[in-house]
Structure 1
C-alpha cells in the first residue's frame, strides 16, 4: 500500500493556487451543473436528448470515427433514428430491455443512441463473457430482444437455448460497415442493418418523453459476491455525469477523444463519451486496446484527449520510448486508476497537462473528479460522503461507544461511504436483497443511510481523496472487477477439486491484483500434468480471460474463522512466495496454456519483471 507523501495533502491555499486555470472552465462547468442539478426525476433528460442537442449545434462536425469509417453528427443521428423507428414499429416500449453484445464499433454507438431515444434500456453485455455467466446476465434483465455483432455470435449461439428471449427477437449486425453493406444474416437471426433500410431518418417523437427516472443502461458489475449483477443506470444519472465530468473535460468541436476502453463499462460509454457530446467533439473508438498502435492512432486521428484506466497507463509507460511519445496534441485525459507511483512519469513522458482522474462506480452514489488538476488524487467530491475507520482484520467498520462510525483524520485511510439523499440516491441492483447488503444505516445518527463502496481511500483534505484498495470479495485486474464467488464456483466444478477460495494478490509493477485460488482436493486424488492443462481449459471456457486464476495453491484443508469464513486476509498476505509457503504452488505464465510448478527461480523472475502478466 502506497504511503501518502505530505505534499499530496490538500488545503485551502493549494486550491487557491489552482483557481486561475480553473476559472477558465467555469462558464462551461456552470452550464453543465445547471443541466445536472436543475432537474427532477420527471424532467426530460438523458443521452438521447443531449445527443439531439449536439446535432443541432454541430450537424456537420464528425461525431464518430472507427477505423476508416466516419459519421457526422447528422449522419449518425439519422442512422440511429432508423434503428429507433424500426424498434418502435416492432412494438418496443419505454422500459423494455434489449441485450446488446457488440465489440467497440460504429454499430454499437448507433444502437445505443437509438434505444436511448425510445426509452428502451440497453443491457450492455461484457463481450468476454461466456457460458452460464452470459446466459445469467441476459436472463437477469428479462431482455425482450438480443442484438449481437457477428464477432460475438458464437457466444450467443452456445447459450441461446438457455435464454428466455423469444426465438424471433435475435438481431444481428455483420462485422463490417453495415451502412454500406448489410451482409447476409445467419440462420435464426434477423439482419438489423437490412431491416432498418425503409425506416425514416427524422427524429423519433419519443425522445422528449424519456425522463430522468427512466432507465438508460444496465451495466454489469461483480458487486461484492456472486454472478454479475445488473446495475440500473438511469437517464438522470447519465445527465449528472454529462453535466459534471462532461463539462469539466471542456472539449469543443475541434477536439478529438480517443477511447480504447470497452464500451460495456461506464468509463468508456458514459465518462469518455459524455464529454464528447457536451462539446460536440469527435469520438474515436478502437475495437481493442493496443500498446503498439496507441500513439500511431493518436497521430492518425489528430487526437487531443484520451480515455484511460490505470492498466492502460502502465502499458504505455512500459513500452519503449518513441518519437511519437510527444509529437501529438493530447494535453488532457480522463479516466480512473492512475497510480501515484507512475503519475508524474506519465505526465512528463507524454506531455500531459491535465489528468482528470475520477472515482465512481456503476452502482454507487458518490463520485470524485479531479477538477483542480492535483496530482495523485481521484479529486474533489461535491456529493455527501464520509471516510470512516475500518478494521481490516475483523472486516468491519469501527464504531464508538454510541454505536456510531468514526471519521478518519486528514491523511488517514478508511472506508468510503456515500450518504443516500434525494440528490444522491442509490439506484441499486435489480435484486432488492443485494441492495440491503450494501446499505449501512444509523451511521452517524439515527435514521441516516450510507452506501458502502467497499473501497478504502485516504482523506487528503478539502474534500479530496486518494484511492488505496478494494475490500471484500471483489478485486480488480486488467481494468475489470473480478467476483471471487463467481470464480470459486467455476473452480469448484473441476472434478478433483473439493473447495476453492479465490482472492487477489499483488504482482510487482502491475496494477490491480491477479487472481489466486487456494484449493483442496477430494480424498485420494492428486493433480497431474493433464489436470494442470485441463483446469486451464475449463476455466478459460467458463470465465472471462481476466478472471482465470493466475496462481494456484494446494492445501490439505482450508483454514476458517469461528463463523466458518475463509481466512482470505491471511491468504492474501502470504501471497505466492514458495520460500514462505510449503504448500504446492502453480502459476499460469504469460502465453502458456497449462499451470507450471512455481519454484524459487520462477518467483524471482516474476519479482524482476521477467514475465509480462
Structure 2
C-alpha cells in the first residue's frame, strides 16, 4: 500500500480550495437539508424522490441501455403499473420481494416499483448459485420473487428449497420488455404482460413511505461464511443520494451518469443511481463492464459522470492508449477503491477533472466523500468518527488499563470506528445478533456506541482520510467482497481436502487482494488432481472467490491463534522462497488447472506477464 507522507493536506492546499468551497456552500446547505429527513411523518425515499425528479424533468432521459432510451415520465409510469399490480396481488408495505435480474432497465424499474409499494427489494447477487442463493433467499423469507430470463436456470435449481407461491413467481424476459413483454416459461407469471393494463398514476402507497422504513436488503459477505442481509432504509437513501448527488457531484438534468457496476451493490444502486435521481439526470447502464467498449459507450450516451471501483479504473489504464482517450464529455466520477498509484495517471490520461472517491459500507452508518477534489483521499465525513489502535494479529481494537480505546496520531493508520447516534443511526442487518457483533460499547467514554467498520484508514489532515486496507475475514477482489470462511467451507467439502485456510494476498499491479488457500490433503499430495480441484471450486463458488493460489501443507500449525497463523500465511503469500517445504500452485488466467510456482513463474507473475 502506498502511504507516502506527501498525501498530507496542508493549510496552503486548503487555502487554494477556498473559492471552490465558497461556491459550493449554497448547494451543501441545500443538500444537507435534503439529506437529513428528520420528520417521521414526511414521505421520502426512493419512490418519492423519483416522482420529484419526474416533476422536474419529465421528458429528460432517465434510463439508457443500448438502443433503449426511456424518459423520467416513461420510467415512472412503467414502475407505477408494476406497483399497482403488486398491490392488487396482495404485496403490502414491509413485504420482501426478491429481485434476481442482471443490469438492465427492467431491474431498476422493478426495484422502483417495489419501493413505491413500500415493500423491500432483496437484491440478490446475480453470480450466486446453489447453497449460497438458497441461503440468501431463505434468510429474508420473500413473499414474492421477480426473476430475469437470464437467471431462470439458477433460480430453478434452488426453487424447491424456497417457499414462494407460484402465483408470485414473476418472470421478466431478456429483451426490451417496455415494447415487447415476451413469453414466460411454465411455472412463472410474465410480470410485464400482467401489468400492461394497470393504472400508470403514482400509487398512494408511495406517500406512505417514511425515513425508518426499509428500502432494500443488500447482501454483504458474512464473516461466518454465508451472506448477511444489510438493511438499507429510505432515510439512508435520502442521505446517500443527496450527499453524493447534490453535495459532492452537483448533478443537474443535463448530466448523464454511466455505470457498469453491478446494481445489486450499494455503489452502483445507491451512490450512482441515487446521484442521478437527485439531479433528475440520466442513468446509462451496461450489462457487464467492458474495458474495450467503455469509452465508446461514454461517447454514445454523452455521459458527463462515471461510476467506478478501483479495479475498473485499472482495467481502463491497462488498455492500449488511444488518441480518443480524452475525447469525451466526462468531468467527474464517483466510486471507491482507486489506488494512489493509478490516481494521477487516470486523471491525466483520460482528462477527468474531479475524482470523487468515497468510502462507505452498505451495512454501516458512515460515508466519506472527496468533495474538495484532493488527490489520494476518500475525503471527509459529516459524521463523527475516530481511528483506534488495534491488535495486528486479532484485528480487534485494543483497550487501555481503564478499559477505553486509544485514538491513533495523525498520519498513523487505525481502525475506523463510526459513532452511532441520532444523526448517524445504524440500520444493521436483518439478524439483530449479527448487528450486535459490529457495535462497540464504552469506547472512549462510558455509554458511547461505535460501529466497527473493520477497515484501516489514515487521517491525512483537515478531516480527510485515506483508505489503507480491510481487516478480518473478508477481502476484496474484482470489486466483490470475498468471505474467507465461505471459501474454506466449500474447499472442505472436497473429499481430498482435510483442512483449509483462505486469505487474500496482494499481486503487484492489481486492485484488492487475490484469493489464496492453504490446504492439507486428506491423504497425500499425490491424491490431489489439480484440474479436478479447480473445476470443483469453479462449480461451487462465484468466479471472483475461486482461489488463484494454493499452498499445500502437510499439517497446519496450530501454534498461536488461528488469526496469527493467517497473518503469517498472508505475509509469506505465494513466494516459494518463503514457504519452506510447502509447494505453491497458481491458476494462471485462461488455463484449466493449477501449476506449481517456480522462481521463474513468480518473477513472471510479479512482472505482469499474466493478466489477473
SS at match of 1:206: helix
CA shift digits 1:511-562 (9 cap, x unpaired): 000000101121356334xx21222222112211100111111101112244
Q: Give me the whole-angstrom Cα distance separating, in 2, the residues matched to 1:320 and 1:11.
A: 36
Instruction: Report what 1:101 is aligned to.
Output: 100
SS at match of 2:507: coil
Give 1:11 shift.
4.1
Instruction: Report what 1:375 is aligned to.
Output: 375
Equivalent pair of 1:408/1:459 in contact (CA under 8 Å): no
Give 1:565 shift.
5.2
Instruction: Report what 1:471 is aligned to.
Output: 471
SS at match of 1:291: coil
5+ residue gaps, structure 2, are none
Give 1:198 shift.
1.3
Instruction: Report what 2:536 is aligned to.
Output: 538
When residues 561 and 417 of structure 1 are mapped into structure 2, their CA distance, relative to the original with a 3 A threshold, is: farther
State TM-score, norm by structure 2.
0.98
Q: Is it true that 1:175 corresponds to 2:177 in the alignment?
A: no
Give 1:23 shift.
2.9
Equivalent pair of 2:37/2:211 in contact (CA under 8 Å): no
Give 1:184 shift.
1.0
Instruction: Report what 1:424 is aligned to.
Output: 424
Instruction: Report what 2:217 is aligned to.
Output: 218
Q: Is it true that 1:299 corresponds to 2:296 in the alignment?
A: no
Q: Give me the whole-angstrom Cα distance separating, in 2, the residues matched to 1:302 and 1:123.
A: 32
Equivalent pair of 1:492/1:498 in contact (CA under 8 Å): yes
Instruction: Report what 1:164 is aligned to.
Output: 163
SS at match of 1:344: helix
Q: Give me the whole-angstrom Cα distance separating, in 2, the residues matched to 1:487 and 1:306.
A: 32
When residues 317 and 565 of structure 1 are mapped into structure 2, their CA distance, relative to the original with a 3 A threshold, is: closer
Give 1:396 shift.
2.5
SS at match of 2:610: coil
Give 1:458 shift.
0.6
Q: Is it true that 1:502 corresponds to 2:496 in the alignment?
A: no
Equivalent pair of 1:130/1:541 in contact (CA under 8 Å): no
When residues 525 and 603 of structure 1 are mapped into structure 2, their CA distance, relative to the original with a 3 A threshold, is: closer
Q: Counterparts of 1:49-448 in structure 2 under 5 Å? A: 49-247=48-246, 248-448=248-448
Q: Give me the whole-angstrom Cα distance separating, in 2, the residues matched to 1:202 and 1:516.
A: 53
SS at match of 1:55: helix
Q: Counterparts of 1:25-64 in structure 2 under 5 Å? A: 25-64=24-63
Give 1:591 shift.
1.3
When residues 41 and 545 of structure 1 are mapped into structure 2, their CA distance, relative to the original with a 3 A threshold, is: farther
Give 1:256 shift.
1.0
Give 1:37 shift.
1.4
Instruction: Report what 1:557 is aligned to.
Output: 555
5+ residue gaps, structure 1, are none
CA shift digits 1:8-42 (9 cap, x unpaired): 11244432321212333333332221011142344
Equivalent pair of 1:429/1:435 in contact (CA under 8 Å): yes
Equivalent pair of 2:37/2:235 in contact (CA under 8 Å): no
When residues 121 and 577 of structure 1 are mapped into structure 2, their CA distance, relative to the original with a 3 A threshold, is: same
Pairs aligned (count): 610
| More moved, 292-301 vs 596-605 | 596-605
One of 572, 579, 592 as aligned partner of 1:574:
572
SS at match of 2:153: helix
